[in-house]
Chains A and B, each alone.
Chain A
Amino acid sequence: MSLEEDLRRALRRESPAPGFAARVLERIERDGEPATQVRQHSGRTWRAVAASLTLTALLGGWAFTVHQRREGERAREQVLLAMRIAGEKVRYAQQEVRTIGSTD
């Protein structure tokens, strides 16, 4: 047999698995878009995932900054309170010194 005849036989048409037309119609009803566009959708999905991750990172960064600012304010308030207490104690000590001095 010649190569050309062998090729005709080897490359003869074959049918897809049964129900092919039904699967095509199902795809048309479902999305009406070719699989390559479905893959573009998955590209879009990846972009959406990337965008949401970026947003999460930004929000996380912002929350961290707010947290740090609040911690700083709390520390400042504690320092001021400590200074106020220390000031009162110093005033009390001065008063005591003065009282002892006047009785002498």
Chain B
Amino acid sequence: MTAIVPEALQFPTAFARAQSGDHDAFAELVGKHEAMVYSLAWNFFGDRSKAEEIAQDVFLQLYRHLESIESDSHLLFWLRQVTTRRCIDQLRRARFKIVSLEHAEDVAASPRVADPLLDRRLKAMVQELPELQRAVVTLRYQEDLDPSEICGIVGMPVNTVKSHLHRALQALRRKLEKHP
């Protein structure tokens, strides 16, 4: 007679192994989520070294709070929340010099990019939005999250998230129309 063992127990996930102190598994977790965390900060600030610093801080914080994370989905939520809050806090603490279009860093060439110039303009315009609108827009379009998911991350009612999103899109449209 063979006992039915859940698959998760037979093959513990990187998350479960990292929780038990496996450094390689933690590195695997970092590798899995680094693009998401880094991009949230990169799209928020438009500064690669700042994005790297914030992303490193977030993963160090994760390392120290790994025990409090309950599941893979909780981990994803936690990473998005901590990164977004760090970005907003950092911006509020020391208002960053907004990167102008002329000084915006080059976007790596990608076959998916239809209009690199428009991408750069949009990115820079997003980085000029007020911090909450910026966070909401980044979570909506980078992470493809619904307002109902975003509200938990930024700690705001869903209608407030929708209103921030609406105002941000209006502002972006106005700017695009003004400088087509």
Binding site for B on A (CB under 8 A): 1, 3-4, 6-17, 20-25, 27-28, 32-36
Task: Confirm or deny: B60 has a beta carbon within 8 angstroms of a beta carbon on chain A.
Answer: yes
In angstroms, Cα B86 to Cα A99, docked, is 103
8 A–B contacts from the bound complex (CB under 8 Å): A4-B141, A8-B144, A10-B119, A11-B138, A11-B142, A14-B108, A16-B55, A36-B57
Known contacts A16-B51, A17-B52, then 16 further A-B pairs from the complex at CB < 8 Å, ordered by chain A residue: A1-B114, A7-B137, A8-B141, A11-B123, A13-B36, A15-B35, A15-B38, A16-B52, A20-B31, A20-B55, A21-B27, A22-B27, A23-B56, A25-B27, A27-B56, A27-B60
The residue in chain A whose Cβ has the minimal distance to the Cβ of B62 is: A24
Chain B stretch 27-60: residues in CB contact (< 8 A) with chain A: 27, 30-31, 34-36, 38-39, 42-43, 48, 51-53, 55-57, 59-60
The reply to whether B63 and A15 form a contact with Cβ atoms under 8 Å apart is: no
Contacting residues, chain B, for A15 (C-beta < 8 A) = 34-35, 38
Residue in contact with A34 in the complex, picked from B30, B60, B122, CB distance below 8 Å: B60
